[in-house]
Amino acid sequence: MNLRRFILIGVPYLWLLALFLVPFLIVLKIALSDIALARPPYMPQLDLSAGWEGIRSFFAALDFENFAFLTTDDLYWKAYLSSLEIAVVSTVITLLVGYPMAYGMARAATEWRPTLLMLVILPFWTSFLIRVYAWMGILSGEGVLNQFLIWTGLISEPLTILNTNLAVYIGIVYTYLPFMILPIYAALEKMDDSLLEAAEDLGCSRTKAFWLVTIPLSKSGIIAGCFLVFIPAIGEFVIPSLLGGSGTLMIGKVLWEEFFSNRDWPVASAVAIILLLILIIPIILFQRNEQKQREAGG
C-alpha cells in the first residue's frame, strides 16, 4: 500500500523534476554565465567536474551581471510592459467574446451541445502555425477581409491591419478563444436552472438574475479561462512575429532575438527567468483557485 502511494505521488513529482526543474536549473546556470564567442556561446561559471572546489568558487564569484544588464536597457522593461498590456487586453476581449458563446452552448438543447462543443475544439485539429498563416492571408492588404469590405462599399482603400497590434489581438483572441469558452461552458452547464427561476419569482428581471445568479456561479470558469489565456499570451512569440511584424514589442520576440540573432544566451536566459517569475504569480493564483473549487466541491 505504501509502495502504491509512493508511486502515485512520486510520478507527478518526477515529471515536474524532468520537465520543469531540470530545464529551469539549466537556464539559470546559463543566465549566471558569461557570453563567449564559442559553441555554445557562453562560458559557464559553475564547473561541476572540479567537485566541491568548483561549487565553492562559483558561489564566491557569483554575480547577477546579466540580470543587472536588463535594468540598463529600456528595451527589456518596455517589452515586459508591452507583453503584459497585450496579454491583459487580449484576455479581456477573449472573455467578452467567449462568454456569450459559452452561455449559448450551455443554454442550447441537450442534443446540440456535443456538436457545438466539437465546433469549438475543431480548430485544434489544424496546425497552429497554419492557422496563423491563414490569418496573414485574411488580414493582408489584398486579403479576404479587405476585398470583402471594398466589395460591400464600406471602404474605398485597403485597410492596414497586418503588421499592427490589432492583428496581434485578433490572432491571440482567435487562437486562445477555446481556452476561454471550455471552462466557462463547464461551469455554466452544471448550473441549476431552478436558481434562475427562483430569482425571477422573487422579482428579478432576466437581466438582473443573470448578473446576480449566472455570473457569480460561473466565476470559477471565468477565472480559469482568464488564466488559461493570459499565461500563454504574455510569452507568445509566433503570433506577434507573423502578424505584428517589427513594430510589435513583446518579450517572446525579444527572447528569440537574443538567443538566435544576438546569440547572447546568458542575457536571453536572464530574460526567460524574469518572465518565468512574472508568470509564477498567475500560476499560483490559478492553482489556489482550483484548490478552492475542489474543496468547495468536496
Query: pLDDT 10s per residue in the chain (298 long)?
Result: 577 777 777 787 788 778 878 888 888 888 888 777 666 777 776 666 666 666 666 666 667 788 888 888 888 899 999 999 999 999 999 999 999 999 999 988 889 999 999 999 988 888 888 999 999 999 988 888 989 989 888 888 888 889 899 999 999 999 999 999 999 999 998 888 788 888 877 888 888 888 888 898 898 899 889 989 998 999 898 899 899 877 788 998 888 888 888 888 888 888 989 888 888 887 787 777 777 777 766 5
End-to-end CA distance of the chain, in Å? 24
Q: Is 91 left (phi over 0), alpha (psi -120 to 50) or beta?
A: alpha
In a domain, 77, yes or no: yes
In a domain, 127, yes or no: yes
In a domain, 19, yes or no: no
In a domain, 42, yes or no: no
Domain that residue 163 falls in: 72-297
In a domain, 22, yes or no: no
Query: What is the number of structural domains in the chain?
Result: 1
Q: Assign residue 83 the CATH number of its domain.
A: 1.10.3720.10
- Phi and psi at 35, nearest 5°, equal -70, 145
DSSP string computed for 130-196: HHHHHHHHHHSTTSHHHHHHHHHTS-SS----TTSHHHHHHHHHHHHHHHHHHHHHHHHHTS-HHHH
Contact 265, 40 (CB under 8 A): yes
